[in-house]
Amino acid sequence: MKCLICGSRMEEKTVTIARIYERQSDIPYALITDVPAEVCHQCGETVYTADVVARLQELSKRIKKGAPSAKTVEVPVYSLDDVAS
């Protein structure tokens, strides 16, 4: 498969994605691992199959309802204001 953005070669990968729910959920942020995707070598464009998208939507629904996670990690938080414009 070729990238629709830049035309470079896409590679099958298993990725981790970050989801931000903020006020929609008791769990404002989550990482989702083991996500199959096609990722562009050149520009990083990431494409999911319709099945993966449906599964991600179902998982997001469960996360928003407070489903327990397999593990929790600490994540550093940065502000762009720390870099002068």
Among 1, 2, 6, 49, binds Zn ion (CB under 5 A): 6
According to DSSP, the β-strands at 29-40 and 10-20 are antiparallel
- 37: tokens are 């995707």
Binder among 1, 8, 29, 66 for Zn ion (CB under 5 A): 8
Q: Least distance in Å: CB of 13 to Zn ion?
A: 14
- Binding to Zn ion (CB under 5 A): which residues in 10-69? 40, 42-43, 45
Helix (H) or strand (E) holding 63: helix 50-64
Least separation in angstroms between residue 36's CB and Zn ion is 18
